[in-house]
């Protein structure tokens, strides 16, 4: 823990957070554009309500302001690892369904997938800085894509992208909290929270 | 025993004098003034095609004894039209408020009931004391993709109406305008104005939820605004102001990531710094005085204005010649 609090570690953390905020901002902007393209190309109604999609991490959180820095990083990392899998599945389904017929949508999906991967790596770096290290991804393979009809798959994709756009905003806010010099932004859990 | 009754504009109203028989001798008053017998059908008071002027206190007295037999307040009005509802978060991420009004008055008392549903959860909207047609809700969750559904129902004695708003958490975020906008000239800089402002005091945590700003400015003599978007900081220096012209300046704010722009701030006025005008020398003033009797206007002599000692640079002579020509032409106009 002492290493995590050293001045150089604090500077590195601040730098990673600042870059992470810029990454998240760009990612959000691209996801919003992708959403517009996706809705149009898939023939969906932009205002359609999509029920909570199984396996998609919800950005919604209660008592957000009370979270510790560690909680923020861990929840973000879990989310973006899940989105990496989900977007890969979407990309594969898109290629199977349309092949090269809609290359623009495929490229946009691939670009966002790349940014999600980069952001996940960024979060892993922040957790390594904490000397805690990111949780391992080894073990159980990612769950297979559910067998859904074409329309259900389109709606699921809409739900994935909407939730990702929400996460991008949440991540920006989370990283800003980490840069705050107050106690609440400390990455290490407070004494009260220690087991 | 006093009663209250509400009737629609245009309705025909019949009032009975309590338990008095139809053929009893009674006197009706409206707001203390006797009502003419032509409005009576036996002891019943008949008001046809009522309008707002019929609203008031109606009393019925037994003929000779003047005992009060019945009293009612009549309110003439209309059922409510669809209310206008607005919801906004000017203090994100704490919560949001909803406010409402009726597009046209009903002239009788109305009761408002608001329900807020988020997913499966019904939320409580705490009524504000002032203004009274407003309530506020604390966010229980942030970053939710589930929409909020707000339904306002207005009811009065003559009917009810309602309206529903459905929105995302981010869509209603709109800060209040920036506060304490100040614009000042910059000494020795005739084309600059320094503008500063503060975050709206209602925005609870600008450090975690920073605002960005939009500044607009124009000289009073022109209609076209110039705009500058600023992603951080609460000050800006305008560097392209027209020298000597009074400017009007306003600022708006928006959350860096979500929502919409605030209304424009209160406008401030400022004029860039200008150099103090030079005074004429004593010799020039004497020349003007001695020439006053021969003509009403004499152009000031060019020698002193274009004194080589005062004008620096190789173009001094050309400048002096030009100045003399201009002044001479100006003098001709006034002879």
User: Which chain B residues have a beta carbon less than 8 Å from that of A65?
Assistant: 93
* Closest-CA residue of chain B to A26: B257
Our CA angle for A26, A29, A31, nearest 5°, is 105
Closest partner CB to A176 (pick from B140, B143, B208): B208
The DSSP output letter for A23 is: H
Q: Which CATH superfamily is domain B177-268 in?
A: Immunoglobulins (2.60.40.10)
| CA distance to partner chain B, nearest, from residue A155 (Å) | 14
The complex's ipTM works out to 0.85
- Domain ranges for chain B: 1-75, 82-165, 177-268
- Taking CA atoms, B203 is separated from A36, A180, B216, B311, in Å, by 31, 17, 22, 56
Full strand arrangement of the beta sheet holding B26-30 = B2-8, B68-77, B56-62, B26-30, B33-34
CA distance B238 to B241: 7
Q: Is the per-residue pLDDT at B329 higher than 80?
A: no
CATH topology of domain B1-75: Immunoglobulin-like (2.60.40)
Q: What is the mean pLDDT of each run of 10 residues along chain A (195 residues)?
A: 66 91 96 92 80 85 93 96 94 78 85 96 90 66 68 88 96 93 47 36
Rounded to an integer, the average pLDDT of B94-100 is 97
Closest partner CB to B143 (pick from A65, A169, A177): A169
Cβ of B93 within 8 Å of Cβ of A64? The answer is: yes
Lowest model confidence (mean pLDDT) among A114-128, A144-158, B107-121, B243-257? A144-158
Q: What is the pLDDT of residues B6-44, one digit of tens each?
A: 999 999 999 999 998 989 999 999 999 999 989 999 999
User: Which chain A residues have a beta carbon less than 8 Å from that of B207?
Assistant: 176, 180
Q: Which CATH superfamily is domain B82-165 in?
A: Immunoglobulins (2.60.40.10)
Q: What is the pLDDT of residues B181-226, one digit of tens each?
A: 999 999 999 999 999 999 999 999 999 999 999 999 999 999 999 9
Across chain B, what does the average pLDDT equal? 86
Cβ of A169 within 8 Å of Cβ of B208? The answer is: no
Q: Which domains does chain A have, with CATH numbers?
A: 11-137+145-177 (1.20.1250.10)
Q: Is the per-residue pLDDT at B319 higher than 70?
A: no
User: Which chain B residues have a beta carbon less than 8 Å from that of A175?
Assistant: none
* Closest-CA residue of chain A to B148: A49
User: Which chain A residues have a beta carbon less than 8 Å from that of B140?
Assistant: 62
Residue A188: what pLDDT?
44
By DSSP bridging, strand B2-8 and strand B68-77 are: parallel
Residue A171: what pLDDT?
97
* B186 strand-pairing partners: B189
| CA distance to partner chain A, nearest, from residue B107 (Å) | 39
């Amino acid at each position: 823990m002492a290493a995590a609090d050293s001045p150089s570690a604090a500077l590195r953390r601040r730098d990673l957070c600042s870059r992470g905020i810029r990454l998240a901002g760009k990612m959000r902007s691209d996801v919003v554009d992708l959403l517009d393209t996706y809705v149009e190309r898939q023939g969906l109604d932009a205002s359609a309500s999509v029920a909570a999609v199984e396996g998609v991490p919800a950005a919604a959180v209660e008592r957000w302001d009370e979270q510790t820095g560690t909680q923020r990083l861990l929840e973000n990392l879990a989310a973006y690892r899940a989105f990496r899998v989900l977007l890969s599945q979407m990309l594969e389904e898109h290629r199977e369904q349309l092949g090269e017929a809609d290359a623009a949508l495929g490229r946009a999906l691939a670009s966002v997938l790349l940014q999600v991967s980069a952001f996940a790596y960024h979060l892993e770096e922040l957790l390594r800085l904490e000397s805690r290290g990111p949780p391992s991804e080894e073990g159980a393979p990612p769950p297979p894509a559910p067998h859904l009809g074409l329309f259900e798959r389109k709606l699921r994709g809409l739900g994935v992208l909407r939730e990702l756009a929400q996460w991008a905003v949440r991540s920006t806010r989370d990283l800003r909290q980490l840069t705050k010099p107050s106690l609440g932004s400390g990455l290490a859990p407070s004494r009260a929270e220690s087991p | 025993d006093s009663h209250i009754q509400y009737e629609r504009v245009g309705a025909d109203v019949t009032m009975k004098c309590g338990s008095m028989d139809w053929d009893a001798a009674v006197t009706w008053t409206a707001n203390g003034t006797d009502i003419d017998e032509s409005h009576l059908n036996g002891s019943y008071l008949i008001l046809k095609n009522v309008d707002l002027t019929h609203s008031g206190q109606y009393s019925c007295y037994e003929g000779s004894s003047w005992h009060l037999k019945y009293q009612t307040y009549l309110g003439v009005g209309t059922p409510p039209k669809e209310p206008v509802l607005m919801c906004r978060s000017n203090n994100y991420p704490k919560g949001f408020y909803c406010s409402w009004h009726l597009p046209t008055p009903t002239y009788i008392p109305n009761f408002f009931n608001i329900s807020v549903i988020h997913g499966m959860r019904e939320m409580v909207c705490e009524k504000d004391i002032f203004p009274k047609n407003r309530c506020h809700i604390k966010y229980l969750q942030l970053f939710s993709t589930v929409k909020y559904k707000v339904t306002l129902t207005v009811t009065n004695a003559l009917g009810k109406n309602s309206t529903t708003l459905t929105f995302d958490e981010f869509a209603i975020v709109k800060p209040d305008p920036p506060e304490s906008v100040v614009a000042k000239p910059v000494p020795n800089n005739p084309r600059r104005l320094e503008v500063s402002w503060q975050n709206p005091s209602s925005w609870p945590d600008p450090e975690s939820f920073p605002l960005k700003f939009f500044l607009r400015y124009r000289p009073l003599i022109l209609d076209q605004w110039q705009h500058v978007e600023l992603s951080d900081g609460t000050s800006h220096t305008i560097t392209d102001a027209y020298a000597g012209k009074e400017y009007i300046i306003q600022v708006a704010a928006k959350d860096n990531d979500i929502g919409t722009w605030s209304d424009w701030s209160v406008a401030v006025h400022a004029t860039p710094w200008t150099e103090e005008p030079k005074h004429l020398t004593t010799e020039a003033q004497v020349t003007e005085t001695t020439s006053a009797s021969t003509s009403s206007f004499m152009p000031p002599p060019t020698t002193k204005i274009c004194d080589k000692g005062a004008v620096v640079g190789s173009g001094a002579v050309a400048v002096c010649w030009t100045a003399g020509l201009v002044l001479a032409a100006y003098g001709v106009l006034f002879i």
